[in-house]
């Protein structure tokens, strides 16, 4: 399967766009807050996803005064919450599938559908 290439930007372009020093981006990488990919020549390449994450970091640090340790905690919590949301959505989907399959069965199985808890759809 062929990989699709995403647009990627060098550190100088990102630093200029967000009005930060390239060393700040390197610091964020050392702290594990950003993980840009690397070119064959080992140049940092920032994708749209990296830029979105950087925007969150800058909002937390510039606008809300959160230090880098706090930023790390917040970003980790966001990732865990997003994963939990995906798990909940998968669970609700499987419940809805099960309910649908129960309803499609003959009347003999109808008594078992009454024991299922209805799930509210978005």
Please check whether residues 57 and 16 belong to one and the same domain: yes
What mean pLDDT comes out for the span 76-97?
A: 96
Q: List, as one string, the DSSP characters of 6-71.
A: PP-EEHHHHHHHHT--HHHHHHHHHTTS---EE-TT--EEE-HHHHHHHHHHHIIIIIT---HHHH
Domain with 111, as residue range(s), is 68-122
CA dist 80 and 50 (Å) reads: 18
Please check whether residues 35 and 61 belong to one and the same domain: yes
Please check whether residues 59 and 12 belong to one and the same domain: yes
Residue 11 within a domain: yes
Structural domain total, the chain:
2
Mind listing the pLDDT tens digit for each residue in 21-70?
Answer: 999 999 999 999 999 999 999 999 999 999 999 999 999 999 999 999 99
Please check whether residues 56 and 100 belong to one and the same domain: no
**Residue 73 dihedral angles phi and psi, to the nearest 5°:** -60, -45
Please check whether residues 80 and 106 belong to one and the same domain: yes
Predicted pLDDT at 103: 84
**Residue 108 zone, left/alpha/beta (φ > 0; ψ -120 to 50; rest):** alpha
Model confidence pTM above 0.95: no
């Amino acid at each position: 399967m062929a990989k699709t290439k995403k647009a990627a930007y060098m550190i100088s372009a990102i630093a200029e766009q967000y009005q930060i020093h390239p060393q700040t981006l390197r610091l964020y990488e050392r702290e594990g807050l950003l993980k840009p990919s690397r070119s064959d020549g080992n140049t940092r390449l920032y994708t749209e996803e990296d830029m979105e994450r950087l925007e969150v970091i800058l909002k937390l640090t510039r606008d809300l005064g959160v230090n880098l340790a706090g930023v790390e905690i917040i970003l980790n919590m966001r990732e865990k919450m997003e994963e939990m949301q995906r798990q909940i959505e998968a669970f609700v989907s499987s419940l809805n599938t099960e309910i649908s399959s129960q309803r499609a069965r003959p009347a003999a199985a109808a008594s078992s559908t009454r024991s299922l808890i209805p799930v509210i759809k978005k």
